[in-house]
Amino acid sequence: MNSFWKKLPSPFFVLAPMYEVTDTAYRQMFVTYGKPDVFITEFVNVDGLAHPISRSKMIRYYLLFDESERPIVMQIWGNNPENFYKAGQLAKELKFDGVDINMGCPDKKVMSCGGGAALIGQKSLVSELVDAVRRGSGDLPVSIKTRKGILKDDTETWMMMLREVRPDAITLHARTAKEMSKVPADREAFGLAARILAGSNIPLIGNGDVKSRQEGEEIAKRYGLDGVMMGRGVFGNYWFFSGRDASLISPAEKLRAAVQHAKLFERNFAGIKRFHMMYKHLASAATGFAGAKELRLLLMQAKDAAETERIVEDFLASHT
C-alpha cells in the first residue's frame, strides 16, 4: 500500500472534519491562504451512501473536492461492514486519497445508531470495518479518528486494541464522548497513546484545543505526535496554517476573504445549499472592530455573494 500518511512532514497538520462547515468551498479558502498537509471531508453515513436514491445527493452535498485540496480523505461513519465495503468502493471511484472512519463523534443520534464513539472498545467490529473499507477501496489508506473513551478514560486499552487493528493513521481527540468539548483536552492522553503506538509505524495525530500552528508544533514535540489536527481553533481564520499572526490581519482583509468564500460557496453549491449556510462564516469575519455588530446584522440578511460583497464594500468605504 502506498500510503500518503507516511510521506508527510514532521509534524504535519490536518484540518479537522466539521459537519456543515468544512465543505469544499471552505477548504479551498485554506488552499489559498494557508494550506494544511491533509484535508478531510465532513463525515458521511455509509448507509445513506449505499442507498440508490440518497447516494448522488450526498456525493454532491458532502463529497465534492478540488484537485488543489489533495491529499483529501473521505470520512465515513456507521457500523455496517457491507456498507463500509461499498463506501470504500466509492472512495476509490471518486479518487479520494484515503478513507477515515469516524469513531469519535459524541452526538447521541450517531451513537444510538452504533456509529461514531459507540465503536470505541469494539475491537472485532472495528477490525471488520477497517478490513471492509480496505477490500472495497483497493490500496487506499484507512485511518481512524476517535476519542480516549466513552464515559471514562480508556486510552491505554483502546490504543492497544487499535495497534492490533493496524489502521494507517490514528487521530486521538483527548476527551471522552461524555465530555464532548465541555472540558479542556487531556493532552497527557497523547503521550500515553504515543508510547503505546511506538514502533508500530502507525502515525498518531493529536486533536483538541490547539489554538495556533506554533502551539501545535510544541504539542507534537512534547508528546511525541506525528501530526496535529485543528478544528474549532481555525474558525474565522483562513490564515491559520500559514502561521501568520491573526492580530496583524486587517478587518478589510478578513472581510474581503469572506466575500471570496461566499463566491466559492455559490460556485460549488448553487441550487444545492441555501446561502444562509454562509452566515456563520460571514459572522466570524465581522467581529472585533468598530461597527462589527451592525455589519453582522446586515450580512445576516444577505441573499447571495453579490449582496454580501456590496454590504462589505459599502461598510469599508464608510469606515476608512
Give tens-digit pLDDT for 188-233. Answer: 999 999 999 999 999 999 999 999 999 999 999 999 999 999 998 8
Q: What is the pTM of this model?
A: 0.96
What cell does 13 get?
497538520
Q: Which residues pair with 52 in a beta bridge?
A: none
Q: Which residues are catalytic?
A: 105
Containing H/E element for 263? helix 251-269
Residues 85, 86, 87, 91, CA torsion sign: positive
Segments of the chain assigned to CATH 3.20.20.70: 4-242
Q: What is the pLDDT of residue 182?
A: 87
Ranges of residues in the chain with a pLDDT under 50 are none
Q: Which CATH superfamily is domain 4-242 in?
A: Aldolase class I (3.20.20.70)
| pLDDT for position 1 | 67
